[in-house]
Structure 1
Amino acid sequence: MKLFIDEINEVVKNAFEELGYERETGRVNVSNRPDLCQYQCNGALANAKKHKKAPMIIAQGVVEKLNDNKIFSKLEAVAPGFINMNINDEFLIEYVNKMNKDESFGVSKATEIKKIVVDYGGANVAKPLHIGHLRSAIIGESIKRIAKFLGHDVVGDVHLGDWGLQMGMVISEVERRNPSLPYFDENFTGEYPAEAPFTIDELEDIYPYASKLAKSDEKVMEAAKQATVELQQGRRGYVALWKHILNVSVTDLKKNYGALDVDFELWNGESDAQKFIPAMIEELKEKGFAQESEGALVFDVSEETDKSPVPPLLLLKSDGASLYGTTDLATVVERVRDMKADEIIYLADKRQGLHYEQFFRAAKKSGIAHEDTVLDFIGFGTMNGKDGKPFKTREGGVMRLADLINMIKEAGKEKLKDNKNIAEEDVEEISSKVGLAALKYGDLSNQASKDYVFDIDRFASFEGNTGPYILYTIVRIKSILNKSEGFNAENSILVPQSESERGLMLQLSKFNEVIELSFRDRAPHKICEFIYELSNNFNKFYNDTRILAEEDESKKASWLSLINLVKNVLEQGLDLLGMESVERM
């Protein structure tokens, strides 16, 4: 379906053009003074100087031109040259009824289907997920879902950190603890054990211990670096041990991401890009992009227009080991050449912006990415505690993501403990969904690039701009529909009987526009804003209208169809944000 705002824009722009003014100056916007009008156009002000006319004269001329158009119920020119307009109810309900009959509620599929890869995991193996992994996972999952809803061919890739120095640290620490294991015997030619020599709990203890030790002991750090190089060069025992590390870690990661309702189509890691690196390096050398500098191999990505220095991308260290930049560049080779990606969207802490700028430039300059390949970095802010500092445990450490999820689920359970309408066997499932909605909505309702304060009491509240408030609105609608007799969702929605009903319809009409903007701007928070306002509109309508007590059956049928559409749109919005509705609260 065409966007509601575009339907209005086309009519108003035509009027401007027919009167000899610039067509684009006839753009219409939602009024920021809904008490005065629903929509407003400021185009007369933009044309005044060029056409040497007073803005009010231009505005009045446009109003006269539009007066016979049936879209508008009100048109007026007001000083200093604004055009205020209200939409005819018949035009509005025709649009809303089309939404009600459309399986995507008015959201049209993209005319140009693109292959999109969303890189949004970034977890390191051998380490537990912590709250620093939260934002990447849930923002990326939402962006992926929005793109799929618009009809694009989308793949989410966890892109594990499984090939860097941390691997060398783990391998060398395992050797210090168990030097007799066959993985460390270079003369061993038999089959390595099928079972890993450690559990996930032991593995998660090994890495932080090794990392801390390496920072204080130069010999330990050198051993880790050497193990990393030998792993990357294919030492047989190290590769076998690395596979154990990967298998044990990925099993645990899938469980934790699953608890967040985050699902990756690809579980690739930095290691999967290694096979592309040798040929890529040779090609970069042949084309003159890769040059030696102090024993290392670098790619100069600076440009004449740079206002501040942009360091070269380090491809290979002096010992021949590859780095994050090398791996990321090689991953672009695979995604563009083999996966035919038109767009690659990356999510990471905004403080990594320089890294992405470097390898994006290298990919474009070298031709690894095509000129029209979209490489997009979404840098997100931090989740802070009430003290404004990065969120920590009570002991001052970094909280594990599993503990955070459990904490928010318990908060959801606490909110529901006195609800007699929920069967005991359903409490766990409902509190889990309420808790996740509180956590995800609390994050996603903020602009991705902004830092925000994690406030469990506010996020879990059933009032205000929260996930549980949206869920409660849906539950309220379901309750009304369940009590109605013979409800038919196919019944037509009739002309609004009140301002609150009209406002509810106008908010519904913005849905497809919001989805398109959310994808274009990579901004799930716009969907949060929309469903919050839609919930507010519904609750105002609900308080103003005795739906089930209405004696006029045609009115009641219309209202039931309308609120059923509201429920469907709210649930679709939640799904795009990675949340599920519930039946009772």
Structure 2
Amino acid sequence: MQKTLIETLQAFVNAAFSRAGYDTKFAAVRVSDRPDLADFQCNGLMGVAKSQKMNPMDAGAAVMEALDLEGLFEADFVKPGFLNFKATDEALRKLVAASVDDPRALAGTDERKKFMVDYGGPNLAKEMHVGHLRSAIVGHGLINLLEFAGHDVVSDVHLGDWGLQLGQLITQIEDVRPDLFEDEVNAPITMLDLQEWYPAASAKSKADEAFRDKARVATSALQAGDARYMRLWQRIVDVSIASLRRDYNRLGCEFTYFYGESRYQDMLGPLVKSLEDSGTAEPSEGAIVVHLQEDKKLPPLMLRNSNGGYGYGATDLATIVDRLDTDKPDYILYVVDARQKMHFQQVFLGMEKTGLLGDTTLEHTAFGTVNGTDGKPFKTREGGVMRLHDLMEEMHAAARARLEEMGKLDGAELEKTAEQIAIAAIKFGELSHDRESNYIFDMEQFLQFEGKTGPYIQYTCVRIASLMENASAAGLTPATFTEVTDGARSLVLTLDEFPAKLARAVDTRKPSNMAMHVYNLANATNSFYQSNRVLADGVDASVAASHLGLLAAAKGQLELGLKLLGIEVPAKM
């Protein structure tokens, strides 16, 4: 693995502090706050002076005397106690040479761990809507980053395919289409049918006590394995999963497991009984619960209610137990809405208190809401919740219209490119925001070819590829980067930041760190391209080839970064 500039410099500075007799905890190097003055800086001399009760000027002189930078950096001491460093042209050339043939040459691998990523979480009988974007896109981005960093990753969609809502739906179908329960009937059930029946069932259950009681009976019968109900339930499952896979496939999301809550139903009774027998679960007003906190700040985790039904608490405990038995993960990440915070606190603490968890770490990778340009939760023009399929269709149509205006593509190539741009706009629009914050989904802005957008970064890659094609036609090919001209330093230093941004994205579970790095790299690449012409008249061939060498390294890292975010680069735009 090739060391980055900052890693190389850090080793030099650590050695100098040690030789001077100072603790290396003061030797931390970081990117300079003043790129006009230096590339990197170390602010630790003031800490040395305080700990040693000495003048920071003397500490600075001692470290400067002990520095051996091997010709790769220049150092300056700045009063009252700062060290500034600038990479030499030779250091910049070496970095590019190492990364041009292998975009991941700068990125090492972490100590291998096993991750389970729980993301998605849609319900049966309901089409995915815009509110499902964040879990899907953040979850998929995290999986890519974790795998690239060297970890083993498995994933699960964790479908809501069981419980009272299914009993309500089956009761509604029993009322309006009883013929669907007959063995010989093969009449199709569609998502349009389910979209009509599901909300009607939910509304009836709230307003009609008789319907509500009937739904409870149906739920119990389904959970007991009633053959007629199970046949209908399986048809609902099949239709729903086909719809879900259509949307997930379009977003590039893949799952190791497409399990639903129904998988764990046979575990619930034995699990709750074992917890009762061990004394970690206790009766409470007819229910069975796990008491979590003495101070009562966190409500007990409900396992079984007073009617004998098992709740989400029991299902989630059983799910974790199954995952521990099956995959033995070091970490389980739940990429779920921040509004579920208390539930996950209960489940995680419940796993600890019952002694079921072992050494696995549970994390709620929470995210905020997606809002419209009015600052309120994203809606259709008619005021309803927008289906994810409709959103992707609108984005595709808008991207196609933009490409048609440009007039460079047609037919299948136009459609394919429009889809790549639409998905890039959606994904980068999401991933350019910190997952914990709310953000505004602005379709028009996200599709722009300029600014902080996915299409802008795609266009940067396509532009470099086109330049290289034209250069090749003119007899020019990328060569070793030797010419440190205007913009080159900034571009190389941005390339150097890739491993740190990757590590931060993984450590914080925030793909936004990689998204912002790719955006900054696109800006640095375009700035270099504008100030360093390749095919213009009067440009020396060796200089042009050097420029192409640096652009090749930038293009490789841009495409790698986009791939980690789940974004494809079109052949043309």
TM surpasses 0.5: yes
Following superposition, the deviation at residue 181 of structure 1 comes to 4.7
1:308-356 per-position Cα deviation (integer Å, ceiling 9, x unaligned): 7011111111222222221111111111111111111111110101111
Would the aligned equivalents of 1:146 and 1:519 in 2 still touch at CA under 8 Å? Answer: yes
Instruction: State how 1:332-347 maps to structure 2 within 5 Å.
Output: 332-347=320-335
Residues 1:52 and 2:53 are matched in the alignment: yes
Cα distance, 1:59 vs structure 2: 2.5
| Alpha-carbon shift at residue 255 of structure 1 (Å) | 0.7
- Matched to 1:345, the amino acid is L
* Residue of structure 2 in register with 1:187 after alignment: none
1:7-35, CA deviations, whole angstroms, 9 ceiling, x for partnerless residues? 22122122222222221210001012111
Amino acid at match of 2:502: I
State whether structure 2 residue 267 is matched by structure 1 residue 276.
Answer: yes
Shift of 1:95: 2.4
> Against the structure 1 CA distance between its residues 533 and 205, is the aligned structure 2 distance closer, same or farther, given a 3 Å change threshold?
same
Structure 1 residue 522, shift from structure 2 partner: 0.7
**2: CA distance, partners of 1:220 / 1:48:** 77
Give the Cα–Cα distance (whole angstroms) in 2 for the partners of residues 196 and 576 of structure 1: 43
1:180 positional shift = 5.0
SS at match of 1:322: coil
CA gap 1:245/1:196 in 2 versus in 1, 3 angstroms: farther
Aligned to 1:575: 563
Equivalent pair of 1:130/1:398 in contact (CA under 8 Å): yes
Q: Which residue does the alignment assign to 1:87? A: 87
Q: Deviations over 1:23-79 (max 9, x none)?
A: 12100010121111111111112222221123333223222321x422553211223
Local SS of the residue matching 2:365:
strand
CA apart distance, 1:465: 0.7
Amino acid at match of 1:126: A
Unaligned runs of 5+ in 2: none
| C-alpha distance in structure 1 between counterparts of 2:186 and 2:551, whole Å | 56
Equivalent residues of 2:292, 2:298 under 8 A apart: yes
Amino acid at match of 1:76: D
Structure 2: which amino acid aligns with 1:280?
L
1:295 matched to 2:286? The reply is yes
Is the alpha carbon distance of 1:31 and 1:282 closer, same or farther for their aligned partners in structure 2, counting shifts above 3 Å?
same
- Offset from partner CA, 1:404-448 (integer Å, 9 cap, x none): 111111221222122232233321111111111111111110000
CA distance in 1, matches of 2:114, 2:161: 26
| One-letter code aligned to 2:518 | I
Could you tell me whether the CA contact under 8 Å between 2:141 and 2:511 is conserved in 1?
yes
Residue matched to 2:8: 7
1:97–1:174 distance in 2 versus 1, CA, 3 Å: same
Q: Which amino acid aligns with 2:52?
A: H
Alpha-carbon separation, structure 2, partners of 1:56 and 1:336? 57
Give the distance between the partners of 2:565 and 2:338, measured in 1 at CA.
21
8 Å CA contact 2:103–2:553 kept in 1: the answer is no
Residues 10 and 440 of structure 1, relative CA distance in 2, 3 Å threshold: same
Asked if 1:230 corresponds to 2:231, the answer is no
- Secondary structure of 1:84's aligned partner: strand
SS at match of 2:303: strand
Shift of 1:3: 4.5
Determine the C-alpha separation between the residues in 2 that align with 1:13 and 1:421. 55
User: Distance in 1 between the 2:54 and 2:280 partners?
Assistant: 57
Instruction: Tell me how far 1:552 sits from its aligned partner.
Output: 3.7
Q: Conserved in 2, the CA contact under 8 Å of 1:72 and 1:85?
A: no
Distance 1:488 1:106, change over 3 A: farther
The residue that corresponds to 1:143 in the other structure is: 142
The aligned counterpart of 2:552 is: 564
The answer to whether the 8 Å contact 1:74/1:85 transfers is yes
From 471, 480, 484, the counterpart of 1:492: 480
Q: Is the 8 A contact 2:9 2:69 kept in 1?
A: no
CA distance in 1, matches of 2:311, 2:559: 43
2:62 matched residue in structure 1: 61
Partner of 1:409: 396
Q: Which amino acid aligns with 1:243?
A: Q
Q: What's 1:322 paired with?
A: 310
1:449 paired with 2:436, answer yes
1:521 to 2:522 alignment? no
Kindly tell me: are residues 94 and 196 of structure 1, through their superposed partners in 2, closer, same or farther at Cα, counting changes over 3 Å? farther
Deviations, residues 362-402 of structure 1 (Å, cap 9, x unaligned) = 1223232213x121111111111122111111221111111
**Shift of residue 233 of structure 1?**
2.2
Cα distance change, pair 193–571 in 1 and its aligned pair in 2 (3 A): farther
Aligned identity (percent) is 40
Please say if residues 532 and 547 of structure 2, whose CA atoms lie closer than 8 Å, have aligned partners that are also in contact: no
The answer to whether 1:253 aligns with 2:209 is: no
- Kindly indicate whether residue 350 of structure 2 is the aligned counterpart of residue 362 of structure 1: yes
Residues 570 and 247 of structure 1: CA distance in aligned 2, closer, same or farther (over 3 Å): same
Question: How far, CA to CA, are the matches of 1:223 and 1:140 in structure 2?
Answer: 38
The alignment partner of 1:314 has SS state of strand
Task: State whether residues 196 and 244 of structure 1, in contact with CA within 8 Å, keep that contact through their aligned partners in structure 2.
Answer: no
Q: Which residue of the other structure, out of 502, 513, 530, is the alignment partner of 2:517?
A: 530
Aligned ranges 1:95-244 → 2 under 5 Å = 95-102=95-102, 104-110=104-110, 112-182=111-181, 192-193=183-184, 195=186, 198-244=189-235
Establish whether residue 312 from structure 1 lines up as the match of residue 303 from structure 2.
Answer: no
Report the counterpart of residue 367 of structure 2 in structure 1: 380
Structure 2 distance, partners of 1:500, 1:63, is 29
Q: Give the SS at the match of 1:40.
A: strand
**Structure 1 residue matching 2:562: 3-state secondary structure:** helix
Residue 193 (structure 1) shift: 4.6
SS at match of 2:405: coil
TM-score normalised by length of structure 1: 0.93
Three-state SS of the structure 1 residue aligned to 2:487 is helix
Once the two structures are TM-superposed, the CA of residue 303 in structure 1 deviates from its matched residue by 5.8
CA positional deviation for 1:196: 6.1
Is this contact kept in 1: 2:31–2:40, CA < 8 A? Answer: yes
How many pairs align? Answer: 569
Q: CA deviation at 1:513?
A: 1.9
1:163-187 deviations in Å (ceiling 9; x for gaps): 122111111111111335546xxxx
Quote how far apart the aligned CAs of 1:561 are.
2.3
How far apart are residue 487 of structure 1 and its match? 5.7
**SS of residue in 1 equivalent to 2:74:** strand
Query: 2:464 is matched with which residue?
Result: 477
CA shift in 2, pair 1:197/1:541, >3 Å: closer
Residues 239 and 22 of structure 1: CA distance in aligned 2, closer, same or farther (over 3 Å) = same
Distance 1:415 1:210, change over 3 A: same
Give the deviation of 1:105 after TM superposition. 3.6
- Contact preservation (8 Å) 1:116, 1:342: yes
Q: CA offsets, 1:227-259, max 9 Å, x none?
A: 222222222222221111101100111011112
Q: Which residue of 1 aligns with 2:419?
A: 432
RMSD value, Cα: 1.9
1:422 pairs with 403, 409, 420, which one? Answer: 409
2:385 is equivalent to residue 398 of structure 1 = yes
Runs of 4+ in structure 1 off by over 3 angstroms are 179-183, 192-197, 486-489, 549-554
Q: Which amino acid aligns with 1:341?
A: P
Task: State the Cα deviation string for residues 430-479 of structure 1 (Å, max 9, x = none).
Answer: 11111111111111100000001111121111111111110110111011
Q: Which amino acid aligns with 1:109?
A: T
Aligned with 1:117: secondary structure?
strand
Partners of 1:297 and 1:470 in 2: CA distance? 54
Q: Secondary structure at the match of 1:11?
A: helix
Q: Distance in 1 between matches of 2:31 and 2:208?
A: 63
Give unmatched runs, 5+ long, in structure 1: 184-191
Structure 1 residue 481: Cα displacement: 0.9
* TM-score, normalised relative to structure 2: 0.95
Q: Is the 8 A contact 1:70 1:88 kept in 2?
A: no
